Amino acid sequence: MLTAERETDTSTDLDLRPDEIGTGRAAVAGGVASLVALAAGELVAAVLDSGPSLVTAVGSSFIDRFAASLKDVAVAVFGTNDKVALIVGIVVVSTVFGAAMGVVSRRWTTAAPLTIVAAGLAGGWALATDPQGTTGVAVASCVVSIGAGLAAFRLLWRWAAEPRPPAPSVPVENAAPGARRGSRRRFVIAAGGLVAVAGASTVLSRRIRSSNSIGAERRSTVLPRPLSAVSVPAGATLDVPGVSPYVTSNADFYRIDTALSVPQLEAANWRLSVSGLVDRPFELSYAELLDMDTVEVPVTLMCVSNQVGGDLVGNAVWQGVPLADLLDRAGPHADAAQVVGRSVDGFTAGFPLADALDGRTALVAFGMNGEPLPAEHGYPARLVVAGLYGYVSATKWLSEIELTTWEAFDGYWVPRGWSKRGPVKTQSRIDVPGRGVAAGRVAIAGIAWAPGRGIERVEVQIDEGDWQEANLADVASDETWRAWHLAWDATPGTYRVRVRATDGDGETQTPDERSPAPDGATGWHTRTVTVA
């Protein structure tokens, strides 16, 4: 039996006879080798820098390539869950494909190894061409990932072999009875061990990443005192449970972007360049930015993908340098008509230069609710422009502001089917009550926004009743949302509750229901409420 096993060990390499490896083992060998390759790539990337890995680079190029077609599935922009789903999808597809190639290798031995090499090279290419990737990390990840994948496959392939059937001269009863079981155990242990190593190395990669994150640096940053600050009136937040507070906390602020791994930018190495159609292009460090005259202003930011009644909207107090001051210093040419923000992650957004200069709040922001910007919201600096949807204006992880003509450039989402202009539409939302409520005096309350125009009136309709005017809370300015509420003596039954807002220009929200693409949803938020 010992001899038999040793024989299997030494005689086998990758060129086993097809019938010596069962389909199941071949699939496991291919699948596990893929997992090992992916995990090795993660580890190398995490050790070398805080940028993307093979997996996230592939995911990012997937997003960039297919974002346009995904918009109809209501992800004009990727939310957190979509990102998790994408990463899980890449891992699952790689594993399943690896398993299939393992099975193909029973006939054509080099199928799985070739696939590992090809997939590694493709991932390396994605990483090398990723805006945040570097050639060095791409080459290292590629080499280590392919090497680990091949080694794992080779090991499993060798151990996947069944012991040779006993020679015909040996009576069956005398054939080594434990050989099959022993070899099976060995294979299972090897496969399980490799999966465990891949898992542990992924956990380790995550640890390394979080310890390399800019979290600590960010927490120790002290923001300057703003030269001017718009104060938030005490009556801006309603005393109604469940209604949105006037200022959204950083933790609760919605997050939307195409970034699969949150860029970790060290403020000390960060530069903002102001360039393009300007007389005096210049670069600015983080310290220089914070040294300028800064303002602190509440501005409501919203995503064009927000559905009627949706939660892709938030109101924060932003601290930053007026964009107009930076543009002034650069001296725009007469033909400059578009401000383009560029991010380290390759994202771009453009809006009319006139919007930056018409007196509205338009900032290169570095502070959010009294703290340095959280990494997910653009640390160290981003753009915030009142009255424009985020996809045309609010570039996070900002690296460049370029002035150009209106025709010369289209931002990230424009060729993907979204409108080039992105002024925010008037919207209103019911926060409370939910679908069910106890009879009695009930508060119907929510928020409404029309940044730049302000909210003049909010009305609520119950079933086909008269539109009733809601009470409006205070606001710091017309660039933020406004809370509203109405008392309702609710008796048992089921009701349709609707809301509509009228902006400062006297325009009432249209009841026409339109989906977000291409320039923002319209319609009245409606909720069916059961009173018990």
Ligand X SMILES: Nc1nc2c(c(=O)[nH]1)N[C@H]1C(S)=C(S)[C@@H](COP(=O)(O)O)O[C@H]1N2
Interacting residues with ligand X (CB under 6 A): 77, 253-259, 301, 303, 343, 345, 347, 377, 390-391, 394-397
Whose Cβ is closer to ligand X: residue 255's or residue 514's? Answer: 255
Smallest separation (angstroms) from ligand X to the CB of 393: 8
253 contacts which partner out of Mo ion, ligand X, none, CB within 5 to 8 A by kind?
ligand X
Neighbours of 502 (CB within 10 A): 20
Q: How far is the CB of 256 from Mo ion (least distance, A)?
A: 5
| 124 contacts: CB under 8 Å, gap ≥ 6 | 54, 138, 139, 141, 142, 145
- Beta carbon nearer to ligand X, 258 or 426: 258
Residue 439 per-residue DSSP state = S
301 contact, one of ligand X, Mo ion, none, CB 5-8 Å limit per kind: ligand X
Partner touching 377 among ligand X, Mo ion, none, CB below 5 to 8 Å by kind = ligand X
DSSP strand pairing (398-404 vs 338-343) = antiparallel
CB-nearer residue toward ligand X: 310 or 504: 310
Q: Which is nearer to ligand X, 202 or 244 (CB)?
A: 244
Which does residue 104 bind out of Mo ion, ligand X, none, counting CB within 5 to 8 angstroms by kind?
Answer: none
**Which residue number, 98 or 422, has a Cβ lying nearer to ligand X?**
422
**Shortest Å, Cβ 92 to ligand X:** 25
Place of tokens 């080459």: 139
| Contacts of 177 by beta carbon, 8 Å cutoff, 6+ apart | none
Mapped to the 3 state alphabet, what secondary structure does 301-365 carry?
EECCCCCCCCCCEEEEEEEEEEHHHHHHHHCECCCCCEEEEEECCCCEEEEEHHHHHCCCCEEEE
Distance, CA of 59 to CA of 345 (rounded, Å): 13
Question: Residue 345 binds which entry of ligand X, Mo ion, none, with Cβ cut-offs from 5 to 8 Å by kind?
Answer: ligand X
CB atoms within 10 A of CB 92: 10
Q: Report the residue closest to Mo ion, judged by CB.
A: 303
Q: Judged by CB, which is closer to ligand X: 141, or 244?
A: 244
Least distance between ligand X and beta carbon 221 (Å) = 18
d(CA 405, CA 398) in angstroms, rounded, equals 20
The Cα 521–Cα 181 span in angstroms is: 63
3-state secondary structure (DSSP) of residue 430: strand
Q: Which residues bind Mo ion (CB under 5 A)?
A: 77, 256, 303, 390-391
Binding partner at 488 among ligand X, Mo ion, none, C-beta below 5 to 8 Å by kind: none
State the minimum distance, in angstroms, from the CB of residue 422 to ligand X. Answer: 9
> Smallest distance, Å, CB 337 to Mo ion?
23
